[in-house]
Amino acid sequence: MIPPAFEYARPASVDEAVRTLADAGEDAKVLAGGQSLLPLLRLRLAFPELVVDVGRIPSLRGVCEDGDSLVVGAMTTHHDVIADPLVRRHAGLLAAATATVADPAVRHRGTLGGSLAHADPGGDLPAVALALGAELVAVGPQGQRTIPAREFFVDYLQTALRPDELLVEVRLPKTDESAGWGFHYEKFSRVAQAWPMVGVAALVRRDNGHIAEARIGLSNMGSTPLRASATEEALAGAAADGVARAAQSAAEGTRPSADASASPEYRAHLARVLTRRAVLAAAGMG
């Protein structure tokens, strides 16, 4: 319940934050919304020497458009993401999935950037970022770089971010419903506030009653969020009757773990069932 002692810095700008991180080296932790970091500290599972609170950097918060992309500031809270009209219009999958994260109080503090940088494969949003083809923009001492979501998630709780880099924004290609996109996040958890045993983020572009393109992100099916690539390929051009067959390959290439709630086999089975349901719902074929 009681965190270990640490130093605290509250930079006012991204530059200051990056400088602070660079000076501190490996022993610094970025505090975003704190909804994952604080529990880790309280259970004494993390011992940072310095906590860098980026909660007072105004430029990190908010949503805007940039051509065909939607830009979500890393420190935009889940609550604000859900309510944001631009997110709803251009990245409905993100809004829908974010609404299932934890509970309202946690969503008031937790942030999109924080959830992605935490990189828990059992989180809801990493798989969503993967399905949406998000690009993650990081700033470090050498300047800014853009990391595609498929390269961002490296391993369990590990990202491509370097210790001196700060995730500043998340860029999402627009997936408007008016352009034929449909979406659904199918979360399967044992109790309402639990993390998903398996989650399936489905994004589908429809064309004349067929599925033109499908992108499926899987939560908790390995040490990183994963795409159900085989199913995505099988869905290209499929009609409603082809969805079930395509979903049969949803667990291909995954490496789900075992825990008290589920065996790997059961997780794989769930991935197939939930993928079918998510795709049908996303495509309006359910």
Rounded least distance, CB 234 to other proteins, Å = 20
Q: How many CA atoms lie within 13 A of 281 on its CB side?
A: 17
CB of 128 to other proteins, least distance (A): 20
Measured CA to CA, the distance from residue 157 to residue 215 in angstroms comes to 23
220's torsion region: left (phi>0), alpha (psi -120 to 50) or beta?
left
Write the binding mask 83 to 102 for other proteins: x where contact by CB under 8 A, - elsewhere.
-------------------x
Cβ nearer to other proteins, comparing 153 with 188: 188
Of the residues 19, 88, 109, 162, which one makes contact with other proteins according to CB under 8 A:
109
Minimum CB–partner distance for residue 271 and other proteins (Å): 11
Neighbour-count burial of 151, counting CB atoms closer than 10 A to its CB (0-12 exposed, 13-18 middle, 19+ buried)? exposed
Q: Which of 177, 229, 237, 231 is nearest to 212 (CA)?
A: 237
Q: Which is nearer to other proteins, 79 or 174 (CB)?
A: 79
CB of 61 to other proteins, least distance (A): 13
> What is the C-alpha to C-alpha distance for residues 247 and 56, in angstroms, rounded to an integer?
44
**Interface pattern 181-210 for other proteins (x via CB under 8 A):** -------x-xxxxxx-x-------------
Binders of other proteins among residues 1 to 30 (CB under 8 A) are: 1-8, 10
- 262 is an interface residue for other proteins by CB under 8 A: yes
Beta strands in the chain (DSSP E): 7-9, 28-31, 50-53, 63-66, 69-73, 135-140, 143-148, 153-155, 158-159, 166-173, 181-188, 198-207, 210-219, 226-227
Binding stretches for other proteins (CB under 8 A): 1-8, 10, 31, 34-35, 38-39, 41-44, 51, 53, 55, 79, 102-106, 108-109, 188, 190-195, 197, 259-263, 266, 269-270, 273-274
